[in-house]
Structure 1
Amino acid sequence: MLNAFLLTKQSYDSPQQGAVIHYWLTSETGTIEIIFNQQQPFFFVSQQNLTTTEEILARKGIQVKPKLLAHKNFKLELMAVLYFDSIKAHQRACRILTDQQVECFEADIRLHDRYLLERKLYASVQISETEAEIETERQQERSTLYNPKLKPGTYRPRLSFISLDIECSMQGELFSVALQNDHTAIVIMIGDPQPTIALDYQLVWVTDEKALLLTLSATIQQLDPDVIIGWNVVNFDFRLLLQRAQKHNIYFALGRDGKTARWREPDADKQQGYISIAGRVVIDGIDALKTATYHFDSFSLENVAQQLLNKGKKTQDVDNRAEQIERDFHFNKLALATYNLQDCILVSEIFAHTNLLDFLILRSQLTGLDLDKTGGSVAAFSNQYLPKLHKAGYIAPNLPKDGGLASPGGYVMDSKPGLYKNVLVLDFKSLYPSIIRTFKIDPVGLIEGLQTKENAKENAKENAKENAIEGFKGAYFSRTTHFLPEIIKQLWQQRDQAKKDKDQARSQAIKIIMNSFYGVLGSGGCRFYDTRLASSITLRGHQIMQQTAQWIRQAGYQVIYGDTDSTFVWLSDDMAAEQAQSIGFTLQTLINLKWTHYLTEHYQLENHLEIEFETLYSEFLMPRIRGSETGSKKRYAGYALRNGKKELVFKGLETVRSDWTALAREFQTQLYEIVFNEKNPRPFIIEFVKQTQNGERDHQLVYKKRLRRKLKDYQKNIPPQVRAARLADAINQQQGKSLKYQNRAWIHYVMTQAGPEPIEYQSHKIDYQHYVDKQLKPIADGILPFIGLSFDEINSPQLNLF
């Protein structure tokens, strides 16, 4: 048996081999190409529609091989499977039948995915070479296997990679391309060879753009990476490379089969295109970080590198680097080469720092998702669920035609605003997955549970153990037939083991997958969407949170807030930290015992809910909604006691929001520290306002906001950032510079006496009163009233005279 890991996959029709499945894998011994020929694509129809189906397809000249099944759809109709000799016939038949109102089930599953799905094969496989025809290219250390037997495996590969970055003119003409990994650093540059002094990378000179593309192709084939990484590498670098190759009529051979890359333009409602290279995976760093749930104010390479690595690009002017790149290409090519290579190095170091490749490999092993798949929660769920569904005798439903209806969100209780001491936070561990496990929430379980309920009515059964588990919105779930609870149990156990092994990449991958399952069931983009499923999770969460709060009140404590899975409990202002923590652990034990007893008594279910005493806040603020006496939601601050130290924590307030200035963030942090430490905030506020109005804090007045639409699309309401961006690009146009803000960019601006102005073209005096009124005052009035003060009273000119 040979251990291998799947890199790329495709399926197509071949005149000689029929419907073909084509996989590329990396293995212990090198690269492997696997070909399955003479395959039969298929989909399902209801048996009651089979005669009509055969008649329709016969009239259209489409050959089909039907077979009756014992499987049912979710309407409990018996199904038939239709086999075809080609992918083209399969797709054409589905279109024709759909037009004739005949529903085709699972017709959207591609042949190469279907093969893996039916065999429960994810990314890692074992290959039986004894049952395969083998051709080997010794020079490339590459084997081609025909129709081998594949089994699930556990192989965790070390993928070879190359980081790629291009530099070009503002018109898209290529200047240079850099390639880098732990062993290689190459820059391919257009231009006449220049003398160099002890460069720590290889500089390859080429005569023109065509030669650059051909050299790049040959270099990639020589380096032969499994993975190509970069920053916006698909939608910018490769899109442009393929466009320029097409312009020069170059066969841009990048694949391990010697063929060119395949490009597919994005769907109308998406921005991201798609690239496919045989045997190589292209992974964009931005998409990978988002998939791993990283969050940044800006996903620019400069910002992410500064945040993660504390270093950035090799340029003095990041905001105007396009002009600098053009200048360097004409007058300082060595500087451009260094800059080009540094971008590759930054991407490689970001991947290494965040273990992104390890994370993506583990995600593929757990779910079968492609390495370059962005998001993918629905596909991950389907890959795990469909094999179990088929084994149970069911065929999956299709996507909802209406896109799905919104399901209730998480529970958020009204808060009790105030300034407190000794506030506990009790948090349910993975609440939604726990609810799924405990209450057996499952797509097939819903179908079976509803049948059990009907049978109970007919047979007048009263034994609760035999009855289905009641959910919400008319849902009932089977106690015995379900798959999702067991899937979550296995993932939960794997995550606990990953934590013990300190395998952060695996732990994070499992957490993301496990927590995505609620969202999948509530998504109209999932074939298993049913509002009864999602509602039975969220509304059960509401019930659990309300019952938990009631038990805490019965224990003699006040609940001041609750949010999705967290309960905030105020103990007493006059209490030592040790006593407060002891009460936290006591409440944790009490609530867990009560849920175990409650679920046994009322539902005859095993309890998988687990509440944890998470945090003690020695000082805590629950603010009011501005201009109201009502308490805020999802907004609070406090001193959290962790490892014997106080840590100032802000949730949802100005300090953690990117659309507030550095001035506001520093003011809020210092003001809250003063109030929490029971000091007089008057001197601080007066001095801070004075410094602001005197221009001593001008460096903190910059707003940074993102334009989420194209600049021309803002018509009715024109926010300040749009006004600043339009002013900047008007000046850019006058000066013959590139327009920076037309298509969803970040803008940095200040408020002046003439309105918002971009920082690069500020021409009027700053409107300091704006910052006092709109940045400082709202922050101060969020906390001062709780100690009997107000911002206006402190800063009144009349009062300040005395």
Structure 2
Amino acid sequence: NRGWEQILDARECTEKELLEQLVKVVQTKNPDVIEGHNIFGFDLPYLHRRCELNDVEFRLGRDGSIPRTYPASIRFAERSIDYTYYEINGRHVIDTFFLVQSYDVSQRALPGYGLKVAAQHFGVAAPGRTYVEYNEIAELWESNPQRLLDYALDDVRETRALSSLLSGSNFYLTQMMPYTYAQTSRTGPAAKIEALLVREYVRNKHALPRPESGEQHAGGYTEVFLQGILGPVVYADVESLYPSIMLAYNICPKSDQLRIFPQILKDLKDLRFKAKHASKDHQKQGNALLADNLDAMQASFKIVINAMYGYLGFGSGIFNDYGEADRVTTTGQQIAKQMIREFEARGSRIIEIDTDGILFIPPVHITTEEEERNLVKEVSDVMPEGITIGYDGRFRKMISYLKKNYALLAYDGSMKLKGSSLVSRSGEKFGREFIREGFARLLEEDIQGLHDLYVSWKNRILNHEWNIADFSRTESMKSSLAQYREDVENGKRTRSITYEIAIRKGIDICKGDRITYYVSGSGLQSNHYEKGRTSDEWPADAPDENTQFYIKRLDEYCQKFLPFFKPQDFSALFSTDTLFSFSPEGIEIIKEIRNRETGEESLR
């Protein structure tokens, strides 16, 4: 994209003329790539249908053809999305909605996948960005159409920015794959790896094997040894643990008679480090654009490299090998346990280990970053050949909550939360903000501030001093509407608020579709499925959200802080129902908590 922008609107023309303009622009500009956020889920199906209703031929293909459509499905970790794929001849269609979810499979950092949330998370939302609520759109078109057009243009700009950030790795992967750019962008890692293997077998005119039946038994070693508010903390991790094990221990599927698998892994690793070092060199020289391109290239190699272990245990992979997959994970467990022994032998206290990363409290005589780095290097030097431990950061304090759930406070005052128990995307925005702000106060041991935070949110709920975005929730549909009705009728499931909303409003939903809703009315029924409303139904001038329900939700979020206080202190801290004003006097924070699984003793 070279910065060209144009807004098409129907203020001076009919809808049919507007759609004809759109088709003409696409044919005139003749783009190689068409991008959009949820373009498969909304934009293309909607435009296609409006063209049909207005007797406009939807000829977006480079040869003037109408897009070919067919049902498709894409999976992101535990989530599966059904959608209609649009194949536009001569052009690549890229959905940034998919790119964002693909990024978050490994990062698990995004609170949601909508355009506005993603743009804010990645820092590409402009300071003066125009925001419009769904229920304002119709009225704005009549009263202030320019604001609506500004809003639409900002949507496009954010989509372009997200694509620039997230599509680079797929672009470079396309140069390696027997797929188009569009196919690569919506194809999972396992399919990419298999394509590389099959291509070499076809080139060598060698028969392909059948997939192995069975299952994988061993997994990564993950354990929490200390919980509570701890510090100072050092984070170290094994650089490319599983790929390093596969190379060092000569891992190869037994069905890979040509031994293409280890060769691909070695070549990709060499190419990645070459691109990574070149990126750093150009960054130092001030060649930012070239450095970014090289960084995207090394990231694309990393995606495939890290997925090669997973492919070994992929049930449908024709070169899978469960035995070799188990050998990788059991070797990884041994390396993790050796890391623990070596750091403990040097006076460190282990907080948590998670497959290839370790969080620990260094011995008291080690206080500077240089000394911490030397400690990590000392342990790295005694690890098996091919295994390197890297120093990945230092933190003033940490809240160790559960496995893979923690908060880290950096020395510059910034805080990072990790884990679905702390940053669950399915929860309300106000709950995520309450937990984030509350943990920041807990790390600072600001008991009064934590109480004030609770009181502030409770008052905002009671007085309706918030917006629909604060308390609405977005849920994905895990089955079709027909399947839901059948399961309810047969007693296989209870009624669901989201499906009941779809039935009431006549929304035709598919697996993977998302509905944003809130709970209206009053009272604390066991099931609020009849009280669900979509976010665009919320009347801002006469709020009807169920304040009792959301006060209960606030109290549920408060339970995250229960392990850090005595029961009576917790009750006083998260309450406004006292005769006397709150005082932090006498309330103590429990600094270390016994881990029942590992047998660590509770310390104060």
* 1:617 corresponding residue in structure 2: 395
Mapped to 2, the partners of 1:369 and 1:559 lie a distance apart of: 45
* 1:426 corresponding residue in structure 2: 236
1:410 aligns with one of 191, 210, 220 = 220
1:364 aligns with one of 174, 194, 204 = 174
* 1:593 corresponding residue in structure 2: 381
Matches within 5 A, 1:91-490: 182-187=3-8, 189=10, 193=12, 205=13, 209=16, 213-243=19-49, 252-266=58-72, 271-293=82-104, 296-307=110-121, 308-311=123-126, 317-320=132-135, 323-324=138-139, 328=142, 341-352=153-164, 354=165, 356-373=166-183, 374-389=186-201, 394-399=206-211, 405-443=215-253, 482-490=262-270
* 2:594 corresponding residue in structure 1: none
Are the aligned partners of 1:522 and 1:531 in contact in 2 as well (CA < 8 Å)?
yes
* 1:779 corresponding residue in structure 2: 560
Q: Cα offset for 1:228?
A: 1.6
Matches within 5 A, 1:69-84: none
* 1:707 corresponding residue in structure 2: 475
Are the aligned partners of 1:188 and 1:212 in contact in 2 as well (CA < 8 Å)?
yes
Are the aligned partners of 1:385 and 1:483 in contact in 2 as well (CA < 8 Å)?
no
Mapped to 2, the partners of 1:275 and 1:415 lie a distance apart of: 50
Which letter does structure 2 place at the counterpart of 1:792? S
1:791 aligns with one of 570, 575, 578 = 570
Q: Cα offset for 1:563?
A: 0.6
Mapped to 1, the partners of 2:7 and 2:578 lie a distance apart of: 69
Mapped to 1, the partners of 2:15 and 2:409 lie a distance apart of: 61
Residues 289 and 495 of structure 1: CA distance in aligned 2, closer, same or farther (over 3 Å): farther
Residues 225 and 407 of structure 1: CA distance in aligned 2, closer, same or farther (over 3 Å): farther
Q: Cα offset for 1:414?
A: 4.1
Structure 1 residue 564 and structure 2 residue 355: aligned? yes
Q: Cα offset for 1:745?
A: 0.9
1:782 match: secondary structure: helix
* 2:600 corresponding residue in structure 1: none
Are the aligned partners of 1:245 and 1:252 in contact in 2 as well (CA < 8 Å)?
yes
Mapped to 1, the partners of 2:229 and 2:167 lie a distance apart of: 45
Mapped to 1, the partners of 2:206 and 2:95 lie a distance apart of: 37
Structure 1 residue 762 and structure 2 residue 563: aligned? no
Structure 1 residue 552 and structure 2 residue 372: aligned? no
Mapped to 1, the partners of 2:450 and 2:151 lie a distance apart of: 45
Alignment deviations for residues 280-303 of structure 1 (CA, whole Å, 9 cap, x no partner)? 212222123334558643333343
1:372 match: secondary structure: helix
Q: Cα offset for 1:493?
A: 2.4
Q: Cα offset for 1:225?
A: 1.5
Q: Cα offset for 1:789?
A: 7.5
Residues 700 and 668 of structure 1: CA distance in aligned 2, closer, same or farther (over 3 Å): farther
* 2:595 corresponding residue in structure 1: none
* 1:37 corresponding residue in structure 2: none
Residues 376 and 277 of structure 1: CA distance in aligned 2, closer, same or farther (over 3 Å): same
Q: Cα offset for 1:545?
A: 0.6
* 2:276 corresponding residue in structure 1: 496
Which letter does structure 2 place at the counterpart of 1:770? K
Q: Cα offset for 1:419?
A: 3.3
Residues 341 and 492 of structure 1: CA distance in aligned 2, closer, same or farther (over 3 Å): closer
Are the aligned partners of 1:292 and 1:359 in contact in 2 as well (CA < 8 Å)?
no
Q: Cα offset for 1:726?
A: 4.3
What TM-score, normalized by structure 1, do the two folds share? 0.58
Alignment deviations for residues 361-418 of structure 1 (CA, whole Å, 9 cap, x no partner)? 2121233442112133123213333344467774322445x6x634533211242324
* 2:301 corresponding residue in structure 1: 510
Mapped to 2, the partners of 1:775 and 1:751 lie a distance apart of: 21
Are the aligned partners of 1:588 and 1:613 in contact in 2 as well (CA < 8 Å)?
yes
Structure 1 residue 747 and structure 2 residue 517: aligned? yes
What TM-score, normalized by structure 2, do the two folds share? 0.74
Mapped to 1, the partners of 2:231 and 2:360 lie a distance apart of: 10
Mapped to 2, the partners of 1:347 and 1:214 lie a distance apart of: 23
Alignment deviations for residues 298-320 of structure 1 (CA, whole Å, 9 cap, x no partner)? 33334334444325999764222
Which letter does structure 1 place at the counterpart of 2:353? G
Task: Write 1 or 2 for the structure with the bigger share of strand.
Answer: 1
* 2:589 corresponding residue in structure 1: none
Task: Write 1 or 2 for the structure with the bigger share of helix.
Answer: 2
Mapped to 2, the partners of 1:640 and 1:694 lie a distance apart of: 31
Alignment deviations for residues 328-378 of structure 1 (CA, whole Å, 9 cap, x no partner)? 5xx9877766665554344334434x2x45443212123344211213312
Mapped to 2, the partners of 1:669 and 1:239 lie a distance apart of: 38
Q: Which residues of structure 2 form unaligned runs of 5+?
A: 75-79, 283-290, 584-604
Structure 1 residue 634 and structure 2 residue 400: aligned? no
283-292 or 435-444, which deviates more: 283-292
* 2:591 corresponding residue in structure 1: none
Matches within 5 A, 1:635-674: 635-641=405-411, 645-652=412-419, 655-661=422-428, 664-674=431-441
Mapped to 1, the partners of 2:209 and 2:449 lie a distance apart of: 63
Residues 485 and 332 of structure 1: CA distance in aligned 2, closer, same or farther (over 3 Å): closer
- What is the CA RMSD across the aligned residues, in angstroms? 4.2
Which letter does structure 1 place at the counterpart of 2:405? R
Are the aligned partners of 2:268 and 2:305 in contact in 1 as well (CA < 8 Å)?
yes
Alignment deviations for residues 124-174 of structure 1 (CA, whole Å, 9 cap, x no partner)? xxxxxxxxxxxxxxxxxxxxxxxxxxxxxxxxxxxxx5xxxxxxxxxxxxx
Equivalences, count: 534
Alignment deviations for residues 13-35 of structure 1 (CA, whole Å, 9 cap, x no partner)? xxxxxxxxxxxxxxxxxxxxxxx
Mapped to 1, the partners of 2:15 and 2:520 lie a distance apart of: 44
Are the aligned partners of 1:425 and 1:566 in contact in 2 as well (CA < 8 Å)?
yes
Residues 391 and 692 of structure 1: CA distance in aligned 2, closer, same or farther (over 3 Å): closer
Which letter does structure 2 place at the counterpart of 1:290? Q
Mapped to 1, the partners of 2:574 and 2:176 lie a distance apart of: 59
Which letter does structure 2 place at the counterpart of 1:284? D
Higher relative contact order (CA 8 A, sep 6+): 2
Alignment deviations for residues 401-453 of structure 1 (CA, whole Å, 9 cap, x no partner)? x6x634533211242324332232221112111112211212258758xxxxx
Which letter does structure 2 place at the counterpart of 1:396? L
Which letter does structure 2 place at the counterpart of 1:647? S
